[in-house]
Chains A and B, each alone.
Chain A
Amino acid sequence: MLTAITRAFRTPDLRKKLLFTLFIIVVFRIGSQLPTPGVNTEAIRQAVEGARNSDQGQLYGLVDLFSGGALLKLSVFALGIMPYITASIILQLLTVVIPRLEALKKEGQAGTTKITQYTRYLTIGLAILQATGIVAMAATGRLFPNAPDVLYKTDMFTIITMVVVMTAGTSVIMWLGELVTDRGVGNGMSILIFTQVVAVFPAQFWAIYKTKGAFAFALVMLVGLAIMAGVVFVEQAQRRIPVQYAKRMVGRRMYGGTSTYIPLKVNQAGIIPVIFASSLLYLPVLATQLWPENKWMIKLQPYLQQDNAWHMAVFFAFIIFFTYFYVAITFNPTEVADNMKKYGGFIPGIRPGRPTAEYLDYVLTRITTPGALYLGLVSLIPMVAFALMEATNDFPFGGTSILIVVGVGLDTVKQIESQLQQRNYEGFLR
């Protein structure tokens, strides 16, 4: 393991990429700590302390998680990657609905670039909306009901400046992410999310150690490691469907005749369903904040607490639905079967063409069921923990954060390894 790391740093190409990624992460963290001009940092620190200890902290839970605590600090990068994620989700859903976008997607590289460009425009639009919302809430004192004076001045000019700065911050984040994708290791956006999720860990561990003592600390660590090992186990699990390629003579040379497999992962969808579900469930929360006096919203309020049984049930159902939905979007059995037929491949015992597609569909549907249940259960862990142990916010191993950390971590390591293997064979994973 250690030799692999030194070897990674000894490869000049890879070293450059790793250092670049680290540099971007540092810039990103600095921006997340830098307060937006006009924010009274002293007042806001007290307000955040207050909010963490009350029910309010739970409402912001996930959004705050994705921003690594930057949101409640009203820093320059307060919005984090949330606008980009939301924009991507919206466009992903729209490709199913709008024929023009679907045509663009089928076009291949050029079409995808265009869709990415739309996503970026939409991100800026959403960023303006969210920045306005947050700053307005801070200015009117609705963000922290018990500490109203978090801004020095609340005149129009100051507020506009803050909104513009936050929007520009979001666009900078987008650029940083793209730079990492382009010149660093791994996928930029997911590395940035990873950074934000991990950034709060040390503080939370320290808080547990200080308030609950060494024994509870060790216990939490142990449980966390066990969950993490379980998640790694399921993430790596895959069903290998054997594929036999027929021998072909082209000229005087022999092609094919090999046997490979199609890997079908148990959790083919990754953590996207969890993010979809949480983003959707965040919408009503947002609505209650925007119109707190509306009588429908007042009725809705109790159902939005994270430890509410209905909330959990809906969250679970959403995750299962989106798992199937996302697998259906990304993996097309008919296409795979057709491709196999074209190159003379077949699954032993099953005829090529339609029967193969039906077989693949059958296996995929069955294998996704445990995958979906697993995703739902893991992401419910923190909420159940809240409800059972009254452990509110000091339980660091939320299901979503573990899924993100493990997913992104595995992915990035695999990518580094594939680059290492271009030079020598022994890597991190054996």
Chain B
Amino acid sequence: MILATAIVLIVTSLLMILLVLMHKGKGGGLSDMFGGGISSSLGGSSVVERNLDRLTIGTGIIWFASIVVLGLLLKSNGVG
């Protein structure tokens, strides 16, 4: 059980990293992080981007759930 959850967790983690990297970066780096910088994020997101968002949110929920489950399993199993 623990092993299966851990494997699911690793897979979703890797998927999560990949999906986030596939997004278009909208940060703009440090320069407009602190002080200054006009928000240049005009123009709506495309269909691809929207589907990517949905996929990322879905993966994120599974990822989050498996973290909680694995944490609880290890806690009940491990000798504190």
Residues of A within 8 A of B (CB): 34-43, 76, 84-85, 88-89, 91-92, 109, 112-113, 115-117, 119-121, 124, 152-153, 157-158, 160-161, 164-165, 167-168, 171-172, 174-175, 177-178, 181-182, 187-190, 235, 267, 269-272, 275, 330, 404, 407-408, 411, 415
Q: Are the C-beta atoms of B13 and A37 separated by less than 8 Å?
A: no
How would residues 3 to 35 of chain B score, 1 for a CB under 8 Å from any chain A CB and 0 otherwise? 000100110111011001101111111111111
Q: Which of A34, A88, A113 contacts B33 (CB 8 A)?
A: A88
A174 to chain B, nearest CB (A): 6
Ordered by A's residue number, 11 sampled pairs between the chains whose C-beta atoms are within 8 Å are: A85-B30, A89-B30, A113-B25, A152-B74, A158-B6, A161-B9, A164-B10, A165-B67, A168-B14, A174-B20, A190-B34
A175 in contact with B33 given A37-B9, A116-B27, A164-B14 (CB within 8 Å): no
The residue of chain A having its C-beta at the shortest distance from the C-beta of B60 within the complex is A172
Q: Which of B29, B63, B78 contacts A91 (CB 8 A)?
A: B29
B68 interface residue per 8 A CB criterion: yes
B71 interface residue per 8 A CB criterion: yes
Q: Which of A157, A178, A235 contacts B23 (CB 8 A)?
A: A178
Across-interface contacts of B51 in A (CB, < 8 A): none
Question: Which of A92, A178, A267 lies at the interface centre, i.e. has the most chain B CB atoms within 10 A of its CB?
Answer: A178
Residues of B in contact, count (CB < 8 Å): 43
A178 in contact with B17 given A37-B74, A152-B74 (CB within 8 Å): no
Q: Which of A34, A92, A171 contacts B67 (CB 8 A)?
A: A34
Which chain B residues numbered 34 to 80 have a C-beta less than 8 Å away from chain A?
34-37, 39-41, 45, 56, 60, 63-64, 67-68, 70-71, 74-75, 77-80
Q: Which of A40, A164, A404, A407 contacts B78 (CB 8 A)?
A: A40
A178 in contact with B26 given A187-B32, A408-B34 (CB within 8 Å): yes
Question: Which of B10, B13, B30 lies at the interface centre, i.e. has the most chain A CB atoms within 10 A of its CB?
Answer: B30
The residue of chain B having its C-beta at the shortest distance from the C-beta of A119 within the complex is B29
Question: Which of B20, B40, B80 lies at the interface centre, i.e. has the most chain A CB atoms within 10 A of its CB?
Answer: B20
Q: Are the C-beta atoms of A37 and B70 separated by less than 8 Å?
A: yes
Question: Which of B17, B33, B63, B80 lies at the interface centre, i.e. has the most chain A CB atoms within 10 A of its CB?
Answer: B33
Q: With A and B bound together, what is the CA distance between A391 and B25 in angstroms? A: 42
Q: With A and B bound together, what is the CA distance between A43 and B21 in angstroms? A: 35
The residue of chain B having its C-beta at the shortest distance from the C-beta of A173 within the complex is B20
A87 to chain B, nearest CB (A): 9
Q: Are the C-beta atoms of A272 and B21 separated by less than 8 Å?
A: no
Q: SS class of chain A's interface: helix, strand, loop or mixed?
A: helix
Q: With A and B bound together, what is the CA distance between A109 and B17 in angstroms? A: 25
B27 to chain A, nearest CB (A): 6
The residue of chain B having its C-beta at the shortest distance from the C-beta of A81 within the complex is B33
Q: With A and B bound together, what is the CA distance between A407 and B74 in angstroms? A: 42
B48 to chain A, nearest CB (A): 15
**With contacts A38-B74, A168-B13, A181-B27 known, what are 4 further pairs, Cβ within 8 A?**
A92-B31, A165-B67, A168-B12, A174-B20
Q: With A and B bound together, what is the CA distance between A415 and B32 in angstroms? A: 12
Across-interface contacts of A84 in B (CB, < 8 A): 27
Across-interface contacts of A171 in B (CB, < 8 A): 16-17, 20-21
The residue of chain A having its C-beta at the shortest distance from the C-beta of B37 within the complex is A187
A88 in contact with B25 given A76-B67, A152-B78, A168-B63 (CB within 8 Å): no
Q: With A and B bound together, what is the CA distance between A85 and B30 in angstroms? A: 7
A24 to chain B, nearest CB (A): 12
Q: Are the C-beta atoms of A88 and B30 separated by less than 8 Å?
A: yes
- 9 closest A-B pairs (Cβ-Cβ)? A270-B35, A152-B78, A116-B25, A168-B13, A37-B70, A270-B34, A88-B30, A171-B20, A178-B26
Q: Are the C-beta atoms of B78 and A190 separated by less than 8 Å?
A: no
A182 in contact with B9 given A34-B67, A76-B67, A171-B16 (CB within 8 Å): no
Q: With A and B bound together, what is the CA distance between A246 and B70 in angstroms? A: 70
A156 to chain B, nearest CB (A): 12
A181 in contact with B71 given A40-B80, A161-B9 (CB within 8 Å): no
Q: Are the C-beta atoms of B39 and A330 separated by less than 8 Å?
A: no
The residue of chain A having its C-beta at the shortest distance from the C-beta of B34 within the complex is A270
Across-interface contacts of A269 in B (CB, < 8 A): 35
Q: With A and B bound together, what is the CA distance between A152 and B72 in angstroms? A: 12
A268 to chain B, nearest CB (A): 8
Q: Are the C-beta atoms of A172 and B16 separated by less than 8 Å?
A: yes
A92 in contact with B16 given A119-B25, A160-B10, A270-B35 (CB within 8 Å): no
Q: Are the C-beta atoms of B21 and A190 separated by less than 8 Å?
A: no
A161 in contact with B21 given A43-B80, A89-B30, A168-B16 (CB within 8 Å): no
Q: Which of B29, B67, B70, B74 contacts A116 (CB 8 A)?
A: B29
Q: With A and B bound together, what is the CA distance between A393 and B21 in angstroms? A: 37
